[in-house]
Amino acid sequence: MIKRINALFVTMLGLGKVSKIPGTFGSLTTIIILYFFFHIIKLSPDIILLGLIIVFFVSFFSITAYIKDNENKDPKEIIIDEFIGQSIPIYLYEISHGVEKLTGEAIIFYFICFVLFRIFDIAKPFPVSFFDKNFKNSFGVIMDDVCAGFYVVLSLICFMLLSNYLI
């Protein structure tokens, strides 16, 4: 029973078991979930952050248990790491400036975050590739996506600074 619950957690209720592009489906599901929490039910950012922190720490133990007897230490069906990495730029966007975001603006920003995150997660620039290649455990599985999420944040900050400078 516990193994089954754990498998459902790391595969995001089985979504990671789809045959093609499970990571992309995990990222897309993440932006839908976060949009729902932030814009539909207007959940407090503090509660969302607490939930993200819990998911982050539980993921280490869950992924470790899931891959324990598996030769592949980063199976494609594990997509909870996509949830964690994709959540970083979206959460930081939502809490930035302390103002309520317009629906259209949020949807565009979520889409940009989604595309950039998938690019960084697939291309794996350093240090994303470092964690992916050198840590064949739950730490490596999670941290490469965390780094990809921070690359999205860094890219958007650079874009904002350049656009302010050039305009």
Query: Is residue 44's pLDDT more than 90?
Result: yes
Q: How far apart are CA 141 and CA 135, in angstroms?
A: 8
As a three-state string, the secondary structure of 73-127 is CCCCCCCHHHHHHHHHHHHHHHHHHHCCCCHHHHHHHHHHHHHHHHHHHHHCCCC
d(CA 100, CA 80): 28
Burial 126-157 (b: 16+ CB within 10 A, else e): ebbeebbeebeebebbbbbbbbbbbbbbebbe
Token pair of 73 as six digits: 């230490």
Region of residue 135 (left: phi > 0; alpha: psi -120 to 50; beta: else) = beta
The predicted model scores a pTM of: 0.91
The pLDDT value recorded for residue 70 is 80
Percent of the chain with pLDDT over 90: 76
SS3 20: coil
Residue 74: pLDDT above 90?
no
The answer to whether residue 160 scores a pLDDT higher than 90 is no
* pLDDT at residue number 60: 95
Residue 43's domain comprises 2-166
Cis peptide, bond prior to residue 127, ω within 30 of zero: yes
pLDDT for 145:
96
Confidence of residue 104 (pLDDT cuts 50, 70, 90): confident
Using 50, 70 and 90 to split pLDDT, how confident is the model at 62?
very high
What the block records as the tokens of 144 is: 């490469």
pLDDT at 97 over 80: no
pLDDT score of 101 more than 90: no
pLDDT value at position 164? 81
Amino acid at position 150, single letter: F
For 65, the enclosing helix (H) or strand (E) is helix 45-67
pLDDT score recorded for residue 96: 87
The domain tally of the chain equals 1
**Rounded to a whole number, what is the distance in angstroms from the first to the last CA of the chain?**
58
